[in-house]
Structure 1
Amino acid sequence: MRVAFVGKGGSGKTTLSALFSRHLARSGAPVLAIDGDINQHLAEALGSTEVSAPPLGEHTASIKDYLRGANPRIPSPEAMIKTTPPGRGSRLLRPLGDDELHARHVGRAGGVPLMVTGEFDESDLGVACYHSKLGAVELYLGHLVDGPGEYVVVDMTAGADAFASGLFTRFDLTFLVAEPTRKGVSVYRQYRDHAERFGIRIAVIGNKVTCEDDLLFLKEQVGDDLLTHLVHSPWVRAAEQGRTESGPDTLASLEPHNRHALTVIHEAVDSRPRDWARLHRHAVEFHLRNARAWADARTGEDLAAQVDPDFVPGPAALLP
């Protein structure tokens, strides 16, 4: 199951991504965390200062070459763009599988497997869009065949900027982290309005709630989309200051209410059935949009031809 955490900058979405990833790891579930934010802080939130594995965004070309496999519709990695959907002959991935992509790009942070998109370097400044780096994450999720009880947790870019690519359609459930302020819920309204057009389900997680008035404010502004909330956490503050040990087991010291909120989030994810047809339909739609808008002209190819009409997404695609 794939989940994304989004929200206004400073809302705590990276903290929630880390807490939920730790919660899943502590439960014994297979989990992979992905830092897809321009501010690469997920490793630190998980309790590590760095990740030994190389960033995805620096190796997009080799990732394309690996994923296209023997797909006859993709003649070269240069003809493949971030939205190119898998087809017959493509290399499909299992979560944390025994393949060269996972072997190369998965590190560990606080006991949690982690992949990172990567930061801007000096050559990117003023000339590159961060979404070019996120293309590697979009390709990864597009070629991933995951199932119930397997989790991919993505910390997304802040605000409604997540809608600048089709990546927002690649998740089973999107959690919007909102503080109990007008600014905190304004991003929720933007995200809700955009997501409704594509049938994307959003669940709101209130964060940094300090009193009953905070909770009432969120309920008034968000309504039934409010799934649960976390109260102000001295444990989280201590972790952010480096005064707690890292690792999933340290969550035993998290405040009881906040531990319960993580359980509610977990149950919400498990109750969401995977719709492979919807995922693939959105992938094809955004690929054709990108092809018409810029990619056909840039590659000199008719990228609509990359769509394999006989490809069946999901576990069946793994069969010989």
Structure 2
Amino acid sequence: MRIAFVGKGGSGKTTSAAVFARLLAASGHRVVAVDADINQHLGVALGHEGPPPRAMGTDLPWLKDHLRGTNPRIPSADVMIKTTPPGRGSRLVHLDPDDEVLRRYAAPAEVPYVVTGEFAESDIGVSCYHSKTGAVELWLNHLVDGPGEYVVVDMTAGADAFASGLFTRFDLTVLVCEPTRRGVGVYRQYASHAAEFGVPLRVLGNKVTDTADEEWLRAEVDKVEPGALLGCVHHSAWVRAAERGTAAPVAELEPVNRAAFEAVRAALDAQPRDDAFWDRYHRTTIDFHLRNAAAWGNRSTGTDLAEQIDPEFTYPVPVS
């Protein structure tokens, strides 16, 4: 299963993503966390010390060449873009620690994590951050995750998360929302975009201080979608200690806060992964690939990127 944490800057989405990833890992699941935010703080939130891992977003030639494998429709990495779908001969990837992509990019933290890379000074005025998050989109297009495996992604802040097709790559998107008018306003904006593409969106309240905060937030969220608020995270001594580098075992997270994150996990696990899932997933991949090809990809690569679509390709469905 794949989950993205989104929200306005300062809402606590990075901390929420880290706590949720730790909770999953502590339960014995295979988890990979992804820092796809322009401000790369997920590693610190996960307790990683030392230099960051090799950035996926600044190593695109290798990643593209690895993923294209022997696919005859993709003659070189130069004609691959972030939405290029897999085809027969493409190299599909997995969450096994021995997978070559994870060996190259994942840091051995409490929860293995990968990064897109920071927005460098050389990027200013030249490129946008989506050139880096595109690496994650390409990786997810080629990922076959199985039962009991999770990808937890900390996305860019604000509605900028909708500037690429990456937002469609998840089983569930969770918007971290403070009990404020501004926080709810961001949720309304997200909900409008998500509904257009059928993206499952739920809300996790954060920085809640009392019952009045929670009741107000639930009432405001219900105006958009009744029942979308999964739970609320109250001010947490456990989180504060973790942010200072002295995280206790996640089992010691306050019961009210643990219950909120367990509700997120229940909502994620309830998302359907039926027999038709991979077919729907691949059709969405193709749709966004054609959108990007027409908008800029064909012009940028000098080729007709629609030719990269293999009508005979199907994902190998993981066995439960």
- Cα separation, 2, equivalents of 1:51 and 1:144: 26
> What does residue 37 of structure 2 align with?
37
Question: Match of 2:179, SS?
Answer: coil
Q: Secondary structure at the match of 2:121?
A: coil
2:199 counterpart residue number: 200
TM-score, structure 2 as length reference: 0.94
Matched, 1:311 2:313: yes
SS at match of 2:59: helix
Aligned-partner residue type, residue 80 of structure 1: M
Aligned residue in 1 for 2:102: 102
Q: What is aligned with 1:59?
A: 59
Q: Deviations over 1:21-48 (max 9, x none)?
A: 0001100100000000000000111112
Which residue pairs with 1:80 in the alignment?
A: 80
How far apart are the structure 2 equivalents of 1:131 and 1:114? Answer: 19
Instruction: Report the alpha carbon displacement of residue 99 of structure 1 after superposing the two structures with TM.
Output: 3.1
How far residue 107 of structure 1 moved from its aligned partner, in angstroms, is: 0.7
1:287 pairs with 2:289? yes
Q: Distance in 2 between matches of 1:218 and 1:83?
A: 36
Pairwise CA distance, 1:94:
1.1
**SS of aligned partner of 1:207:** strand
Range moving further from structure 2, 120-129 or 84-93: 120-129
Rounded to whole Å, the distance in 2 between the matches of 1:281 and 1:50 is: 40
Question: Which amino acid is the alignment partner of residue 126 of structure 1?
Answer: G
Determine if the alignment matches structure 1 residue 300 to structure 2 residue 302.
yes
Equivalence for 1:184: 183
Structure 1 match to 2:127:
128
Cα-to-partner distance string for 1:147-174 (whole Å, 9 max, x where unaligned) = 2210000000001100000000000011
Deviations 1:84-138 (A, max 9, x none): 00011000011135232111101123x1101011102221122110000011100
- CA shift in 2, pair 1:314/1:187, >3 Å: farther
Following TM superposition, the consecutive aligned residue runs of length 4 or more in structure 1 with deviations greater than 6 angstroms are: none
Q: Is the 8 A contact 1:13 1:177 kept in 2?
A: yes
2:166 matched to which residue of 1?
167
Percent identity, aligned pairs only, is 60
- 1:157-196: per-residue Cα shift (whole Å, max 9, x none)? 0011000000000000111100000111111111110111
* Structure 2 Cα separation of the partners of residues 120 and 134 of structure 1: 11
Distance in 2 of aligned mates of 1:122 and 1:49: 24
CA distance in 2, matches of 1:199, 1:50: 40
More displaced 10-residue stretch of structure 1: 217-226 or 8-17: 217-226
Q: Describe the SS at the equivalent of 1:107.
A: coil
- Three-state SS of the structure 2 residue aligned to 1:292 is helix
TM-score by length of 1: 0.94
**Aligned residue identity for 2:116:** T
Cα deviations by residue, 1:37-64 (Å, 9 ceiling, x for unpaired): 0000001111124455201011011100
Distance (Å, rounded) in 1 between the aligned partners of 2:315 and 2:188:
32
Code of the aligned partner of 1:201: P
Counterpart of 1:190 in 2: which secondary structure?
Answer: helix
Residues 134-283 of structure 1 mapped to structure 2, 5 A cutoff: 134-223=133-222, 224-242=227-245, 244-245=246-247, 250-274=249-273, 275-283=277-285
Show structure 2 runs of 5+ residues with no match: none
Tell whether the 8 Å contact from 1:5 to 1:14 is kept in structure 2 after alignment: yes
Return the alpha-carbon distance in structure 2 between the equivalents of residues 204 and 52 of structure 1. 30
Q: How many residues align?
A: 312
